[in-house]
Structure 1
Amino acid sequence: MSGVRSIWWATAVPGYEAPFDTAHLRVFYPAKPTGSDAERLSGVFPADPALAPYPVVIIVSGVNVGQEAYRWLAVALAERGYVAVTYDWVGELFGGLKGITPGVILDAAKPDAYGTRATTPSVPAVIEALREMTGPVAGLLDLDNVALIGHSAGGTVVLQSARFFPQVKAVAAYGTHTMVATMLGWPAGTVVPAQVDSAVLLMAGERDGVINGSADRYGEEAATRKDPISRTFDEALPDRDGANLLVTLAGANHFGIVHPVDETAARAFLDLPAERDPALTRAALADVTAAFLDVHLRGADGDALDKALENPDVAETRRR
């Protein structure tokens, strides 16, 4: 493979008013430079057709975490033969504020509606935008073979919504869970079933201070509450004969999937200091994620996944 390049696109999210209705996409793809004048003048390289049509991986960000924070992961996946998509949507947050959001349809997350529709409007809009995209990846995307990767709130809406998008064949999520806030009308300590028909790779850091700092939303007593990520794995996911994975990364924190961490936004101030080199965490995360995707999007035999899980930066692995 000759390298990774990226291009930009945009889409409107239906049902929202301008200017807060537009998601800006960045699409990373395996490139094959030809040395042409067109490349020199435009900076746009053709996609490498060798592995096309390309499975597509959409990375769904946490609240107020810009898409550039996941560029390292998008590049790592494109180096492995995927087309990886990040996006920023500045829209409605809680309390009337605006910010980068995966989008949360609160009415769809309430007890009388949960499980009847997706809780995020951005993911389907991004998938449809990719169908219409022009440029070097046009005609080379396998949009019936899609994975979603979510971080924090992005992971929550992915876990709450993936089955409503039949294109999705695998889901990965880091630093997230399906506990629901009492303000939405749920009893204290409720973990709702994930709405996912595919295998799930659920990843966590040993030192996630953000999830601990948000626990009062769920109405539990601090002294007796259990880890919501483990509860999600045990209670929200069905048994898939070992296809579902819970991977705990040694010494990593909530922002272990992010590089660089932007201290001026989001809630990194709640996080615990990482006790492992974040670069090693990212390398392990990328290897495990790519190997998981290879199994479920490309039909790989799983040997590479087993090897990736032996990484010393993986503290614990569980399967269901």
Structure 2
Amino acid sequence: MSVRSVWWAATIPGAQAPFDTAHLRVFYPAKPTGSDAERLSGVFPADPAHAPYPVVIIVSGVNVGQEAYRWLAVALAERGYVTVTYDWVGELFGGLKGITPGVELAAARPGAYGTRATTPSVPAVIDALRAMTGPVEGLLDLDNVALIGHSAGGTVVLQSARFFPEVKAVAAYGTHTMVATMLGWPAGTVLAAQADSPVLLMAGENDGVINGSADRYGEDAATRRDPISRTFDEALPDRDGANLLVTFPGANHFGIVHPVDETAARAFLDAPASTDPAATRAALAEVTGAFLDVHLRGAGGDALEKATQTLRLRRR
């Protein structure tokens, strides 16, 4: 399947200019016609054969640019999903600016958590897609959306998904719902995920970034229990096996990223990958695609079983 991409933009409500715009890249199954319009513009029409297309939105980690997830967006578009990545340069912690999934700290404090989404970017992106023109106009199934989050992007997705009725599946890599003590929570607190849809939680067994952040949660990395496993056990409800925890052997925190940008984010904290990162990415794309096929398209679970058979898998 041919894949092409176009760009769009979303305004983030409540953010101050110039830090109030997310720049989207939308990857879609294309059907080249060889027309002069294609030759002159570089824009190919979308393939209407399998429309309307379910939509997958990839929510990045802090200071991880959307190009790092292009490989996954292309793989999912080849599978028949319209896949969206985005960069929003906005407020980070301590007054810094950078690429952010958007974190409303007030919504994550005691007394407020669970009453509203902790990210303003996801609903803004969904609204922007509803108004989008160009080759995918009229071909998006925006009542059938999946969210994929990495690191902090995964945290806000897990904290927010149920507030977006369009969302039918959630996948997250290298993330958890432990909450910082600076927000007023006791040390070691795992918050209940706010997700009404099935969750695919993914982890690399050599995640050095999560281990390097234990003090944020009032813990000692040497003695605490893995936050991703705790999130699966304590933050997610029992859904008769629809929730999955998949661990990729030898993968690290940035196993979902390609290429890794050593000039930004916190890759310097990560442990070395002891498995070929290309093999991890191939397995991750297959597991994620099969999971989405089940929950966005109603496919049987055979492909998902096959994709996970060599990986460490838990169901809930």
**Would you call these one fold, judging by a TM-score over 0.5?**
yes
Q: Which residue of 1 aligns with 2:51?
A: 52
Q: C-alpha distance in 2, partners of 1:103/1:203?
A: 21
Q: C-alpha distance in 1, partners of 2:300/2:290?
A: 10
4+ residue segments displaced more than 3 Å: none
Give matches, 1:210-289, under 5 Å. 210-289=209-288
Number of equivalenced pairs = 316
Q: TM-score, normalised by structure 1?
A: 0.98
Q: Which residue of 2 aligns with 1:159?
A: 158
Give matches, 1:17-32, under 5 Å. 17-32=16-31
Q: Which residue of 2 aligns with 1:100?
A: 99
* Contact residue 212 and residue 221 of structure 2 kept, 8 A: no
1:223 positional shift: 4.0
Q: C-alpha distance in 1, partners of 2:291/2:204?
A: 18
Q: C-alpha distance in 1, partners of 2:161/2:123?
A: 10
* Contact residue 116 and residue 163 of structure 2 kept, 8 A: yes
Q: Which residue of 2 aligns with 1:318?
A: 314
Question: Which AA in structure 1 matches 2:274?
Answer: E
Q: C-alpha distance in 2, partners of 1:28/1:223?
A: 42
Q: Which residue of 1 aligns with 2:195?
A: 196
Task: Structure 2: state its 5+ residue gaps.
Answer: none
* Contact residue 62 and residue 99 of structure 2 kept, 8 A: yes
* Contact residue 211 and residue 221 of structure 2 kept, 8 A: no
Q: Which residue of 1 aligns with 2:32?
A: 33
Q: Which residue of 2 aligns with 1:123?
A: 122
Identity of aligned residues (%): 87
* Contact residue 152 and residue 175 of structure 2 kept, 8 A: yes
Question: Which AA in structure 1 matches 2:136?
Answer: V
Secondary structure, aligned partner of 1:253: coil
Q: C-alpha distance in 2, partners of 1:90/1:15?
A: 14
Q: C-alpha distance in 2, partners of 1:223/1:288?
A: 30
Q: C-alpha distance in 2, partners of 1:74/1:224?
A: 37
Secondary structure, aligned partner of 2:72: helix
Secondary structure, aligned partner of 1:201: strand
1:221 positional shift: 3.3
Q: Which residue of 2 aligns with 1:83?
A: 82
Q: Which residue of 1 aligns with 2:297?
A: 298
Q: C-alpha distance in 2, partners of 1:256/1:225?
A: 23
* Contact residue 149 and residue 173 of structure 2 kept, 8 A: yes
The CA deviation string for residues 168-205 of structure 1, in whole angstroms up to 9 with x for no partner, is 00000000000000000001100000000000000000
1:50 positional shift: 1.1
1:19 positional shift: 0.5
Change (3 A) 1:278 1:223: closer
Task: Structure 1: state its 5+ residue gaps.
Answer: none
Q: Which residue of 1 aligns with 2:131?
A: 132
Give matches, 1:61-76, under 5 Å. 61-76=60-75
1:69 positional shift: 0.1
